Amino acid sequence: MNSVSTAQRSLGATFHNSKAEVVVWSPLSVTVEICLVKNAKCLPLTENEYGYWSLTTDELQPGDLYRFLLNGETERPDPASLSQPEGVHGASQALDLSNFKWTDHQWKNLPLEEYVMYELHTGTFTPEGTFAAIEAKLDYLKQLGVNAIEIMPVAQFPGSRNWGYDGVYPFAVQNSYGGARGLQQLVNACHQKGIAVVLDVVYNHMGPEGNYFSNYGPYFTDKYNTPWGQAINFDDAWCDGVRRYFIENALMWFRDFHIDALRMDAVHAIKDFSPTHILREIKQHVDQLMIETSRPHYLIVELDLNDTRFINPLDQQGYGMDAQWIDEFHHALRVTATGEQSGYYSDFTGIAHLAKTYRDAYVYDGQYSPHRNKRFGIKAEANPGKQFVVFTQNHDQVGNRMMGDRLGQLVSFEMQKLVAGAMLVSPYLPMLFMGEEYNEPNPFQYFVSHTDPELAEAVRKGRKKEFAHFHLEGEAPDPTAEETFQQSKLQWERVNQEPHATLFRYYQTLISLRKQHPALRHLNRQHLKVNVDEANKTLVLHRWHEDQHMLALMNFSTEPQHVPFDGFSGQWQKLLNSADTQWGGAVLSPEFVSSASSITLQPESFSLYTSHV
């Protein structure tokens, strides 16, 4: 295991006893100096083992701007910079993260199985687009029932408009959002209100603009191809320094920012054939940190491989990730609700696959995938429900549509309520995408603010090419235009308008029911049965815990459907029916249903009944 201290960050500039400890990894440099902007003075660093250079000085103080001078000729920002107040090409700013006054000492993080997540993008969640503005909305999220926010990446990126996946300073918090202090304040405020914070981080590639890593050393390798060019060097010559860099980054978020969980972007694109995979090594260090701090921290991965090795425990030779996103639940639900089967949706048949993902988590767990033209996946029988994150929408599934249209723009109001119910009664961790709870009509489109004209044009062309396999007509919005960013912002006035207010109350009720009832709250995948009628497009999900049983009845068809209760003994009491008048429907469904009768499900409706046996 890499010799990384969990107690404190070592890379970049840190402060101890009024002195700065400066460390940079630059194994191929002959000389390295730190140049202070305030007096144009350059101080030489001492070469150490394995390509590290260091200096202890009292001439660098918190708030000072600095750059590194490599080989007496190349000035660059610090690759482990904590702040880039002048953007990705400007000087780095030294910060002392330890002097923030935390007041969250009573916070111990929530059990992962209790998470109800809400993904948001800092720049478009509020008109102001800042951490402070998110803080002002925490009471709203608390009222909704959310207890964990997932913030899209905040690592410094070019300009002020970006999804965050083009970050080039993984340790620096985006200056236009409020920087490191703003993020610490937001996390502190979340914890005061009982809300956990999940931060999206990108360890599979770096953005192109402001990417000066190769000036410092072999951060990248030509051994593998990735969608973004050269792969990050996790297993080639000099990889130890790169691995330490990312291990220290993960530890910093947990230790210095009190982040509760990391969502790690597209880990299937991480190329690493080392004896110890980088994800496993990160987990080992996080486990050590948790022993020292007595705070639980979670690692959640975006994974497109249906491979349980990533989420199996360390003692089973897995990588130890606590949970993963499963797009396949989304895809099966989306095809069931819309019938759309273009692109990667072509692998999904609809309601039969929705039933399978309730039972098996993965839809493809060893069978042939027509879209991939190969057998795909492995069974996840031993993995508990809390290891899978499900959603009806997320930044990818909305923003990577050509027009960025949300699900609410594609289906009826009744279907929106149905898919919300289908997701929130699953035996998995639910995640909402900002605005879905009230049917935000604005799209969420792809946007960047690159300052390099050639790069901006390449992004435009790349987006156009990306949609070719979906056979769509028209032109994608210009990702570089300010207008594309502005029209992706939430319209908060909609929350109090109809039918948005009704949908908000509906989500609120569903989340509350999930928390209140043991049969929904306990994510036991063994206590679950699914009955599906493909011809009539109905699905009955039966979940139970001890003596409490729950039936979720779903009708995805546009006609009323009759579902017999003869397979379910006892008397069942209604908890919710999306077709009832209080939810904007037209009927009142029966309060009680017995095993000797049947129930008529309204078109595109969701019903929830409970019984104690």
Q: How far apart are CA 468 and CA 3, in angstroms?
A: 47
pLDDT digits (tens, 9 = 90+) for 342-356: 888 899 999 999 999
pLDDT digits (tens, 9 = 90+) for 137-196: 999 999 999 999 999 999 999 999 999 999 999 999 999 999 999 999 999 999 999 999
Band (396; pLDDT cuts 50, 70, 90): very high
Question: β-strand 220-226 against 229-232: which pairing, if any?
Answer: antiparallel
Residue 606 parent element (H or E): strand 605-612
> Could you write out the DSSP letters of every residue in 216-242?
HS--EEEEEEETTEEEE-SSSTTHHHH
pLDDT(2) > 70: no
Q: Report the pLDDT value the prediction gives residue 469, as an integer from 0 to 100.
A: 56
Catalytic residue among 21, 64, 236, 302: 302
pLDDT(408) > 60: yes
Domain ranges of the chain: 12-97, 447-479
As a whole number of Å, the end-to-end CA separation of the chain is: 52
Q: How far apart are CA 349 and CA 345, in angstroms?
A: 9
* Correct CATH for 12-97 of 2.60.120.10, 1.10.3210.10, 3.40.50.1100, 2.60.40.10: 2.60.40.10
pLDDT(590) > 90: no
Given a contact cutoff of 8 angstroms between Cβ atoms, the answer to whether 295 and 108 are in contact is yes
pLDDT(475) > 50: yes
Q: Report the pLDDT value the prediction gives residue 459, as an integer from 0 to 100.
A: 73
Q: How far apart are CA 37 and CA 92, in angstroms?
A: 10
Which among 83, 262, 89 has a CA at the least distance from the CA of 174? Answer: 83
Residue 458 parent element (H or E): helix 453-466
Question: Of 21-30, 97-106, 543-552, 584-593, which range is least confident?
Answer: 584-593
* Three-state DSSP class for residue 389: strand
Q: How far apart are CA 550 and CA 529, in angstroms?
A: 11
Q: What angle do CA 333, 336, 339 make, to 5 degrees?
A: 125
Q: How far apart are CA 538 and CA 36, in angstroms?
A: 68
The chain-wide mean pLDDT, for the chain, equals 95
Average the pLDDT over 378-407 and give the result.
Answer: 96
pLDDT(456) > 90: no
Average the pLDDT over 351-363 and give the result.
Answer: 98
Q: How far apart are CA 27 and CA 207, in angstroms?
A: 22
Q: How far, in Å, are 213, 219, 229, 233, 245 from residue 222 at the CA level?
A: 15, 11, 9, 9, 19
Q: How far apart are CA 364 and CA 359, in angstroms?
A: 12
Could you tell me what percent of the chain has a pLDDT over 90? 87
Q: Report the pLDDT value the prediction gives residue 472, as an integer from 0 to 100.
A: 58
Given a contact cutoff of 8 angstroms between Cβ atoms, the answer to whether 394 and 79 are in contact is no
Catalytic residue among 150, 265, 281, 322: 265
> Could you write out the DSSP letters of every residue in 1-56?
-----SSS--SEEEEETTEEEEEEE-TT-S-EEEEETTTTEEEEPEE-GGGEEEEE
Rounded to 5 degrees, φ, ψ at 353 are -75, -30
Q: How far apart are CA 489 and CA 129, in angstroms?
A: 9
Residue 453 parent element (H or E): helix 453-466
Given a contact cutoff of 8 angstroms between Cβ atoms, the answer to whether 183 and 154 are in contact is yes
Q: How far apart are CA 358 and CA 530, in angstroms?
A: 8
> Could you give the maximum distance between any two Cα atoms of the chain, in Å?
87
pLDDT digits (tens, 9 = 90+) for 122-138: 999 999 999 999 999 99
Q: What residues contact residue 183 under an 8 Å CB cut-off, 6+ apart?
A: 131, 154, 173, 177, 257
* Three-state DSSP class for residue 421: helix
Given a contact cutoff of 8 angstroms between Cβ atoms, the answer to whether 504 and 438 are in contact is yes
As a whole number of Å, the CA-based R_g of the chain is 25
Question: What tokens does 151 get?
Answer: 């913030």
302 is catalytic: yes
pLDDT digits (tens, 9 = 90+) for 69-98: 999 999 999 999 999 999 999 999 999 999
Cis peptide before 499 (omega within 30 of 0): yes
Average the pLDDT over 254-279 and give the result.
Answer: 97
pLDDT(474) > 80: no
pLDDT(471) > 50: no
Band (202; pLDDT cuts 50, 70, 90): very high
Q: How far apart are CA 465 and CA 535, in angstroms?
A: 37
Which runs of consecutive H residues, i.e. helices, occur in 169-304? 179-192, 213-216, 239-257, 278-293
pLDDT(1) > 60: no
Question: Of 235-239, 357-361, 471-475, which range is least confident?
Answer: 471-475
Q: Report the pLDDT value the prediction gives residue 467, as an integer from 0 to 100.
A: 64
Question: What tokens does 586 get?
Answer: 């037209």
Q: Report the pLDDT value the prediction gives residue 11, as an integer from 0 to 100.
A: 97
365 is catalytic: no
Q: Report the pLDDT value the prediction gives residue 255, as an integer from 0 to 100.
A: 97
